[in-house]
Structure 1
Amino acid sequence: MPKMKTKSSCKKRFKMTASGKVKSAQAGKQHGMIKRSNKFLRNARGTTTLSAPDAKIIKGMMPYAR
């Protein structure tokens, strides 16, 4: 049986943690910062883990991630 392909968009945007959760960048930080509150920008720093239903979708697109 041939290897399954990983979605290129997913491998660029998501990483897996050692415990198997999906790590991604915070949403809403690409442009339009002037209209966002300082609290929003502060809380959107760094990375976050996806919720379980979203993680299940991404894991289906990344068959060989840990």
Structure 2
Amino acid sequence: MPKVKTNSATKKRFALTGTGKLKRKHAYHSHILTKKSKKRKRNLDHTALVAGANERQIRELLNIR
């Protein structure tokens, strides 16, 4: 039986925390930044945790049990 491949796009976008939760970046922080306020850009800079509803799907793509 061959090894199961990890989804490459997913492993670039998500990371595991020390406690096993999934970390993600905020959207809307890559372009058209001139019209966004400093406060909005600063808040988008921080990482966030993946919602529980999406966690199982992402774990399957990363082959994490």
Q: Return the TM-score normalized by structure 1.
A: 0.80
Could you tell me which amino acid in structure 2 is paired with residue 18 of structure 1?
Answer: G
1:22 counterpart letter in structure 2: L
By relative contact order (CA 8 Å, sep 6+), the higher-ranking structure is 1
> 1-side partners of 2:55 and 2:47: how far apart?
14
**Aligned: 1:56 with 2:46:** no
Kindly, what percent of the aligned residue pairs are identical? 37
Q: Does 1:14 align with 2:22?
A: no
Runs of 5+ in structure 1 lacking a partner?
Answer: none
Q: State the number of aligned residues.
A: 65
Q: Any runs of at least 4 consecutive aligned residues in structure 1 with deviations exceeding 2 A, and if so which?
A: none
What are the Cα deviations for residues 23-48 of structure 1, in whole angstroms up to 9, with x where unaligned? 11221110011121222112112311
Question: Higher strand proportion, which one?
Answer: 1
Which amino acid in the other structure matches residue 3 of structure 2?
K
- 5+ residue gaps in structure 2? none
TM-score (norm 2): 0.81
